A and B are shown apart, each in its own frame.
Chain A
Amino acid sequence: MKKTMVAAGAILALTAGSALAQSKSVKIGFVSTFSGPTAVIGNNMRDSFELALDHIGRKMGGLPVEVIYEDDGQKPEQGKQKTEKLIESDKVDFVVGYIWSNVLLASLKPVLDSKTFLISSNAGPSQIAGELCSEYFFSTSWQNDQTPQAMGTYMNTKGVKSVFLIGPNYAAGKDMLAGVASTFKGQVVGQELTKWPDQLDFSAELSKARAAKPDAIFVFYPGAAGVQFLTQYAQAGLKGQIPLYTAFTIDELSLPRQKDLALGVPGAQHWVNDLPNDANKKYVADFKAKYKSSPSFYGAQTYDAVGLINSAVVAAKGDLTKKDVMRNEMRKANYKSVRGPYKYGNNHIPIQNFYLQDVVKNASGELVLKTVATIVKDSQDNFAAKCPMKW
């Protein structure tokens, strides 16, 4: 179902501001998944984006902000079509969003060719960090390999000697499995890629994992598939036999459905809801108050996208044609990120910390995600050297 929602900014007193501000607004195209089983992710991102706009008074550098939301239906071809529409007929100033690496890769060209800034607030395919890197692309998330790399490092410290990898067969799945294999010092005894997104029965893969007798299983299943994987892992009797390590499989959106199955299953993440900085406290508290649900890392990255864009528009004093000024400002990451301060690498991918998160019961018996430790500090992705851009 197509859901286009135009959220116009608050009505401006036209007398205020410069002559430029009177005639223009900051137009942002937002592409994410708002239909199908992973719509919960897209909705969490949109909610966070709206909250961030509320926090800055829905104005950037004196200009009102206008957002056009488009649904990619989790399909690369649909995402590309919607992106082209945003560029060609809506003529947006920024394109934000993208959960899925394959959707982002398909949608990249029309945005970058038109010299429009693209802020990925989730997907981080290896290609865009390396040979496809662009001066019009910024990430407020991570490069796909980084998070599982942190998990590989953590597994080394836990004395895991052999691992079996399972993930979906698409751009991000391949990156994630390559990421964990690149830092894990033990042996990778097997690797399974499953049909994505329609294969949800993992019986054949779990049987193979059991037969390979590894010390641990590493898995990457974002969205609802993470619920199904954890359920089937428990039903196969593997819980308690072969420990599970994850990336992007347990989050605030899947946890209410995974429940106790997720207890004690570690994951790596660059943002956890309890990170003790002021920007994050405000984000988490206000999100819970406004939407009566929990923010997720998807939302946190999207909240940050508003901060990044705002810093650029303010630096250009509302003149959106000054792309060099905006780019230079964004390279400084000069805003209050909810993950805490970070820097950009030459490929515009954050250089940031990764934390170990665990699922615990809080005082009122609810399952929550909690930061346990910092696994790596200031991690930079492996593909930065392949990016020819220097600054």
Chain B
Amino acid sequence: MLLFIEQCLNGLQLGLLLFLLAAGLTLIFGIMDFVNLAHGSLYMIGAYFAATFAAMTDSFVLGALLALIATFLVGVVVEMVALRRLYGRDHLDHVLATFGLILFSNEMVRLVWGPEGRNLALPSWLNTAIEIFPGVYYPTYRFAIIVVALAVAGFLYVIVMRTRIGMLIRAGASNREMIGALGINIKLLYTLVFGIGAALAGLAGLMQTPILTASIGMGENILILAFVVIIIGGIGSIRGAFIASIFVGLIDTVGRAFMPDLLKLFLSQAAASTAGPALSSMLIYLLMAVILVLRPEGLFPAAGNR
């Protein structure tokens, strides 16, 4: 039972991290109708920035803050220089252009930081385990990720639901033409949304760095999961992204942890431990397939999305 609680926390942590990535992706997709495959590159860039700034300033927290700002700026610059020209175009053009951006940023990172990857060491106060329930030890840093991500989710909720900017963002997700016609500076809004999305991806990346280290192409694997999340959650919906990412995180981790044991009930030990990881990594795609059949527009479609 205690193990189950611990595994749920692991799943929650993965889910919240996915949420940070998916929130930006779903905003950009939902509001700007722009398919951004290079979202994973921003995640990677955030990770490399954090490793570099933390080494320069000798402070994990300061490095993380600087990396966050830098990734926001990178997002803004990329939007203004490259992506702005693509908005009116077909989705296929978006996919091609942002795929090019992935290749570009991977090579760029290789040139700047070298091929071998970067570490980000945790300060000692984060590099331990804490007892959250009697008998349940949990890595302090992973717990910190849960807290930070929940805070960011709450903050996003307040911004989107309670502020004027948020109102515009929601209006943009519902009907882009109309808010343009009402005299809102849609260009500026798009740049801002893209920058926020980039910063969220950067935050996810930099928080993963102490666990996974920064490496080239780290964004591509997790980007697929993020797309699964926004399809399950409904494109353009932050709330959908939140619920779907926690679902996906829990199913992935709990499945990985208990699937082999479950299979052992009716398979041999060797077959179960081989088939377990394979089957559990299929679970989330099964979930996506079921959702697509039952609710093709996702769990919480943004109003106005057909």
Say yes or no: is A50 at the interface (Cβ < 8 Å to chain B).
no
- Closest A residue to B115 by beta carbon equals A39
Indicate whether A232 sits within 8 Å of B211 (C-beta atoms), given known contacts A37-B216, A237-B137.
Answer: yes
How does the 8 Å CB contact mask read for A197-221 relative to B, with 1 for contact and 0 for none? Answer: 0111101110110110000000000
How does the 8 Å CB contact mask read for B199-240 relative to A, with 1 for contact and 0 for none? Answer: 000000000001111011100010000000000000000000
Measured CA separation A169–B271 after assembly (Å): 12
Say yes or no: is B174 at the interface (Cβ < 8 Å to chain A).
no
Measured CA separation A333–B180 after assembly (Å): 78
Indicate whether A36 sits within 8 Å of B253 (C-beta atoms), given known contacts A204-B7, A207-B10, A210-B137.
Answer: no
Q: Which of A100-108, A140-148, A223-231 contacts B (4 or more CB under 8 A)?
A: A223-231
A368 → B minimal CB distance (Å): 19
Q: Which of B19-27, B61-69, B81-89, B273-281 contacts A (4 or more CB under 8 A)?
A: B273-281
B261 → A minimal CB distance (Å): 9
Tell me the count of chain A residues lying within 8 A, CB to CB, of chain B: 34
Please tell me the size bucket of the interface on B.
35 or more
Say yes or no: is A10 at the interface (Cβ < 8 Å to chain B).
no
Say yes or no: is A195 at the interface (Cβ < 8 Å to chain B).
yes
Q: Which of A14-22, A186-194, A345-353, A372-380 contacts B (4 or more CB under 8 A)?
A: A186-194
Complex contact A193–B273 (CB within 8 A): yes
Q: Which of B72-80, B121-129, B162-170, B183-191 contacts A (4 or more CB under 8 A)?
A: B121-129
Indicate whether A208 sits within 8 Å of B3 (C-beta atoms), given known contacts A39-B115, A40-B115, A200-B212.
Answer: yes
A311 → B minimal CB distance (Å): 34
Say yes or no: is A174 at the interface (Cβ < 8 Å to chain B).
yes
- Closest A residue to B116 by beta carbon equals A40
Which residues in A have their C-beta under 8 angstroms from that of B254?
204
Mostly, the B contact residues are helix
Say yes or no: is A115 at the interface (Cβ < 8 Å to chain B).
no
Complex contact B281–A195 (CB within 8 A): yes
Which residues in A have their C-beta under 8 angstroms from that of B281?
195
Which residues in A have their C-beta under 8 angstroms from that of B10?
203-204, 207
Which residues in A have their C-beta under 8 angstroms from that of B36?
none
Which residues in A have their C-beta under 8 angstroms from that of B260?
192
Measured CA separation A198–B13 after assembly (Å): 18
**Which residue of the partner chain, among B211, B256, B274, contacts A235 with CB atoms under 8 Å?**
B211
Say yes or no: is B117 at the interface (Cβ < 8 Å to chain A).
yes
Say yes or no: is B283 at the interface (Cβ < 8 Å to chain A).
no
Measured CA separation A191–B261 after assembly (Å): 10
B295 → A minimal CB distance (Å): 29
Lowest 8 A-B CB distances belong to which pairs? A237-B129, A203-B10, A211-B3, A204-B257, A235-B139, A207-B6, A37-B215, A204-B256
Residues of B participating in the A interface, judged by any CB pair closer than 8 Å: 2-3, 6-7, 10, 13-14, 115-117, 119, 121-122, 127-129, 137, 139-142, 210-213, 215-217, 221, 253-254, 256-257, 260, 273-274, 276-278, 281
Offer 13 A-B interface pairs, CB within 8 angstroms, sorted by A. Answer: A37-B217, A192-B273, A193-B273, A199-B277, A203-B10, A203-B14, A205-B257, A207-B257, A228-B211, A235-B210, A257-B116, A257-B119, A259-B119
Residues of A participating in the B interface, judged by any CB pair closer than 8 Å: 36-37, 39-40, 169, 174, 191-195, 198-201, 203-205, 207-208, 210-211, 224, 227-228, 231-232, 234-238, 257, 259
